[in-house]
Amino acid sequence: MIDKIKSLEQNFSVSKAAFIVGFFALLSRAAGLLRDRLFASTFGAGDTLDVYYAAFRIPDFIFNLLVLGTLSVAFIPVFTELLAKDKARAYKTANTVLNASFLIMSAICILLMFLAKPLTSVLVPGFSEDKLAATTLLTRIFLASPVIFTISNIFSSILNSQKKFFIANLAPILYNVGIIFGLLALYPKFGLAGLGMGVILGALLHLFIQIPEACRFGYFWTIKTDIKDPAVLKIFTLFLPRILGVDNSQISLLVGSMVGSILASGSIAVFNLANNLQAVPLGVFAISTATAVFPFLSELYNKGDKSSFMLELYKSVEQILFFLVPFTILLLLFRAHLVRLVFGAGNFDWNDTILTFNTLGLFAVSLFAQGLTPLFARAFYAQHDTKTPVFTGILAMATNALLAYVFGTRFGAPGMAAAFSAAAILNSIILFAILRHRLIRDLDRTQVHKMDMEIASSIAKICAASLFMGLAGYALLYLLDPLVDTHTVLGLLAQAGLAFLGGAAVFVAVGKYLQIPQLKLISLAGVIKKG
């Protein structure tokens, strides 16, 4: 199976690349859900999980601000352009970026270790002294991870730029393995510090798996750094404005920690657990597609082929919505079952379950927007425009922060999820409107109208099939309820499983009747055959 998947890299297509990224994203999310289940059953939605998730906020924010979605999206278009002209120079530029990024991130994280206590006090103003001390300890340990992930992310970008997605997307699975090892083997011996050690172990595994693969394709590390390299300066120019456009989800998690710290114990944990659950389809179907199409869009822009650029963008929109629209219905329909099956064990009680599935439902409302935003943003980055997503992102962040405080203080974790969804939908709509306006300026109106009609028809068909799927799934849940004991895992699984299969069958039947072309993407055989 793995050999077949790896062979898909040989003749590149977006569908093949999306399949590889999506397959390993699914494995990574599965490992992440196992991780969350172990944490939830061990600690419940209480003080320990609040501390654990809050301790990630500063390290994750710094990494996302400076590297993930910033340095990487500035690096790939320039590196891709260099590869096509001079491979040796491309790797020289990559080496400079790696060395400079490592030094800068190391200095920042060391400084933040000294400032961890006052920063944490601002982040979680409602924590008691004991919770604050524990959060500070874990934050200091976790701050080693951005340094490791900075190096690892550059190796991922090098591989992705060459359309080599296999190893780069295997790495996150190993990250989760390290965290699970920390919980099971290190926590019993070292307490909270053991959880931190597990995170650092996972980060190191994430890095080490990628180094040999990058070297195999020509990378060779040297201490020599040329910061005057025009390509490096171009990356830096693209990188700077993107800093202000940090992902809305990161702001949401920061705001969630701040507001959650003044709410009932476990609110931060509930918010994060629900977010991690709804992120599964995003990582598998949306991020995978955006990641796979990004180098392809960069190539099309460098060739000046706007027509193909827009066509490929629309195809990716259809592919993302084909999965996320039905998954939105499924999450809304089966949210209680999912939360009980995934987290409902050990110390995770019924009250925790209710709060989590209510929060999950409000996250799910914006699933389509969350999935499209990374794609739209990468479409701008492929055009060497990092400024536009910044401005829309700032607006989304402000909306999220304001609504999170208003709704969160009134409705708790579900209110914070509602604020996040409102901001995500707003951001996606604005990005698409600007992007489409820019792309159609130099294209034939008849051609644009044809593409618009095709994507509108496709989305309408997907929504219709999803609606029938939801009605069938709801009816089956109602009919099966008196026949199974939903107080047991087996009964709950039987009810949800049969209703899901029935709904999925209806979706496929309606989809075939409406001739939805994306149906062929649901099988590996279809992807291989297409390639």
The answer to whether the pTM exceeds 0.85 is no
Task: Tell me the average pLDDT across 62-82.
Answer: 78
Tokens of 511: 């989809």
In a domain, 393, yes or no: no
Q: What is the domain extent for residue 120? A: 44-243
| pLDDT higher than 90, residue 15 | no
In a domain, 343, yes or no: no
Q: Residue 388 — very low, low, confident or very high, per pLDDT cuts 50/70/90?
A: confident
Query: How far is the CA of 152 from the CAs of 19, 67, 71, 207, 216, in angstroms?
Result: 22, 10, 12, 5, 16
Tell me how far apart the alpha carbons of residues 130 and 133 are, in angstroms, rounded to a whole number.
5
Tell me how far apart the alpha carbons of residues 22 and 275 are, in angstroms, rounded to a whole number.
19
Number of domains in the chain: 1
In a domain, 483, yes or no: no
Single-letter code of the amino acid located at 218: G
Tell me how far apart the alpha carbons of residues 493 and 398 are, in angstroms, rounded to a whole number.
40
Do 283 and 31 contact (CB within 8 A), yes or no?
no
Task: Tell me the average pLDDT across 16-20.
Answer: 67
Tokens of 422: 């409102």
Tell me how far apart the alpha carbons of residues 376 and 429 are, in angstroms, rounded to a whole number.
10
In a domain, 350, yes or no: no
Instruction: For the chain, give the number of residues.
Output: 531
In a domain, 67, yes or no: yes
DSSP of 84-101: HH-HHHHHHHHHHHHHHH
Question: What do you get for the CA distance between the two ends of the chain, in Å?
Answer: 17
In a domain, 29, yes or no: no
pLDDT digits (tens, 9 = 90+) for 439-485: 888 777 888 888 889 899 999 999 999 999 999 999 999 899 888 88
Q: Residue 86 — very low, low, confident or very high, per pLDDT cuts 50/70/90?
A: confident
| pLDDT higher than 60, residue 399 | yes
275 compared with 225, residue with greater pLDDT: 275
pLDDT digits (tens, 9 = 90+) for 347-375: 888 888 899 999 999 999 999 999 999 89
DSSP of 25-60: HHHHHHHHHHHHHHHHHHH-SSHHHHHHHHHHHHHH
Tell me how far apart the alpha carbons of residues 66 and 64 are, in angstroms, rounded to a whole number.
6
pLDDT digits (tens, 9 = 90+) for 235-265: 887 777 666 555 656 777 788 888 888 888 8
Q: Can you give 382-396 as a three-state secondary structure string? A: HCCCCCHHHHHHHHH
In a domain, 262, yes or no: no
In a domain, 207, yes or no: yes
Q: H helices of 261-287, where?
A: 267-281
Q: Residue 434 — very low, low, confident or very high, per pLDDT cuts 50/70/90?
A: very high
b/e code 478-490 from CB counts within 10 Å (16+ = b): eebeeebebeeee
Do 280 and 324 contact (CB within 8 A), yes or no?
no
pLDDT confidence of residue 70: 64
